[in-house]
Structure 1
Amino acid sequence: MMPNAEIDLEAEYNNRARVPDHGVHIAAWYRDAAAYRGSARCELDLAYGPGERHRVDFFHPDDEAGGPVVLVIHGGYWQALDKSSASHLARGANMRGLTVAVPSYDLAPSASLAEIVGCIERASDFIAERTQRPLVAAGHSAGGHLAACLMARPGGSRRPIRVGMPISGLFDLAPLVSTSVNAALGLRPEEAHRLSPLHLTPPQDGRLVAVVGGAESSEYFRQSREVVERWSAAGVDARVHIVRGAHHFDVMVGLADPSDPLVDILVSLAADA
């Protein structure tokens, strides 16, 4: 189902305008991420490809049991931010015994969205091959889109990912074509369709928990509902999880807290990976 033609798509997808103090939240991400890198058991800036941004950080629990690795993919509408904004999101899973990998990836406009998807697929293959463990795909906003793409593997990733938790993800890219988000992406309608997880084939016997903030726009709710409906019809165990009262810039902060429901979901997904 496409959004209602009367909806102001620019307002629906312009998250920075919807949350005027977004800068405060982003500054806190970088502060908390740097603090966690300073205290965590981590391996930083491992190269998974030849590019300057083809780097991944690993965060290890104190008691590493060798289970699945959680892949946390940062957001930024495929055109901003990097892994150093998301390190602290590994804390909750680490404290529950899970290893976490946080990659950077190429950004628009220097890279097309298809190239960005291919980039994150190379990162996931590197992580899986290095650890020889299954992966749980998680990510925020654009990272949620990329996490779902990894599960559907439109670029032919060599190591399938069956379980994932996209947070405030984008699964139907068609509405973005007419918004300012597309200025850097340059998406054409056919490419938006081809790279939308809503229209891709999900993994057989997979699990998906689409997380969305209770204070997010109606379009973000629609996106999460529709991917759950479409993938459920294809046989995926899929559901929506709402973080009550959360907006686009604080919906994922619970990942830093080992007792948060988002971390409970990751642990549950890891058990099925």
Structure 2
Amino acid sequence: MELITELDDAYTNAAYIPGGDDYPDRWAQAAQMWRTREAHDDHARLDLPYGQGERERFDLFLPEGAPEGLVVFVHGGYWMKFDRSYWSHLAAGPVARGWAVAMPSYDLCPRVTIGEITAQIARAIDVAAGVVDGPLVLAGHSAGGHLVSRMLEPGLLDKDVAARLRKVVPISPVTDLRPLMRTSMRDDLRLSEESAVVDSPVLMAARLEVPVTVWVGADERPAFLDQARWLAEAWEAGHVEAEGRHHFDVIEPLEIGDSGLVEALIG
């Protein structure tokens, strides 16, 4: 087993973050409070379908007045955990700036492959873009950062939707899946030598010409700093290492309309 577990520690986050195990409960509570408030104010459209599956649903949060455009945020969890209900509060920053925010759930590994999740996210974006007019911005965290990066493969998104893309911001993304072949996640992620190459954004042969800013916490594990840098270098993209931020709190500035992260998205 040594061969496939040697990088487990490198890709572990919670054990290296003070109170790391408490974050999911904190996210869920903050998200529930945000959803309740927005639904009460008639600014939330919840459980909208983008496919036939139970998890093929998205929530849409709307600003006052006509939206300036649409941000789609894709959650992380190593393609194996969580759903949209943990992250609703992260819509607060863009909504305060007049943008709508869609947050999809998706099926999880090992029930499906990463490639199948990628196709689901493309459908979710196409459907959400049909609900809100204007420019389109994609953001995702960790595995979600991987998924929004993959959306720049030509042909994944509907051509009219792709034409509306203004910006993609992968946050702490996993951009090269080949190292995960040397972790115990390999089997649950249903990775093969071939799929680890095909599904890696850093190895994409072609991509849409859309501005990209790779965002990562300066205090993250070296593996995640590497993963962010690899994509920024391969794509000649913007690259921000957010001072004082680790893998779990790097997304918190999405709650603040004038934060640097929200500015990177829609500024």
Q: Distance in 2 between matches of 1:241 and 1:71?
A: 20
Cα distance in structure 2, aligned partners of 1:178 and 1:90: 35
Structure 2 CA distance, aligned partners of 1:132 and 1:91? 19
Q: What residue number does 2:213 align with?
A: 209
Instruction: Please give the alpha-carbon distance, in whole angstroms, between the structure 2 residues aligned to 1:202 and 1:178.
Output: 27
Instruction: Give the whole-Å Cα distance in 2 for the aligned partners of 1:79 and 1:100.
Output: 23
CA distance in 2, matches of 1:151, 1:90: 22
- Is 1:24 matched up with 2:22? yes
- In structure 2, list runs of 5 or more residues that go unmatched: 1-5
Query: TM-score scaled to structure 2, two decimals?
Result: 0.91
Shift of 1:152: 2.4
CA displacement 1:108-130 (0-9 Å, x = unmatched): 01111111101111101111122
Question: What is the Cα deviation at residue 259 of structure 1?
Answer: 2.3
- What is the alpha-carbon distance in structure 2 between the residues aligned to residue 136 and residue 32 of structure 1? 23
Stretch deviating more after TM superposition (20-29 or 248-257): 20-29
Equivalent position of 2:71 in the other structure: 70
The answer on whether the counterparts of 1:202 and 1:231 sit within 8 Å (CA) in structure 2 is no
Q: Deviation string for 1:92-119 (max 9, x for gaps)?
A: 1100111100000111011111111011
Does residue 166 (structure 1) correspond to residue 164 (structure 2)? The answer is no
CA distance in 2, matches of 1:54, 1:133: 23
Q: Tell me which stretches of 4 or more aligned residues in structure 1 moved more than 4 Å.
A: none
Aligned mate of 1:179, from 177, 183, 186: 183
Which secondary structure does the structure 1 equivalent of 2:223 belong to? Answer: helix
Query: Could you give the per-residue CA deviations for residues 136-189 of structure 1, whole angstroms, max 9, x where no partner exists?
Result: 110110000001011224x62213235211110011110011112223112011
Q: Distance in 2 between matches of 1:177 and 1:17?
A: 21
10-19 or 109-118: bigger deviation: 10-19
TM norm structure 1: 0.89
The yes-or-no answer on 1:218 pairing with 2:217 is: no
Match of 2:55? 53
- Given that residues 165 and 209 in structure 1 are in contact (C-alpha distance below 8 angstroms), is that contact kept between their aligned partners in structure 2? yes
How many residue pairs match? The answer is 255
Q: Which position in structure 1 is the counterpart of 2:108?
A: 107
Q: Shift in Å at residue 20 of structure 1?
A: 5.5
Uncovered stretches (5+) of structure 1, i.e. residues with no partner = 1-7, 233-237, 269-273
Aligned residues: CA RMSD: 1.8
CA distance in 1, matches of 2:65, 2:241: 31
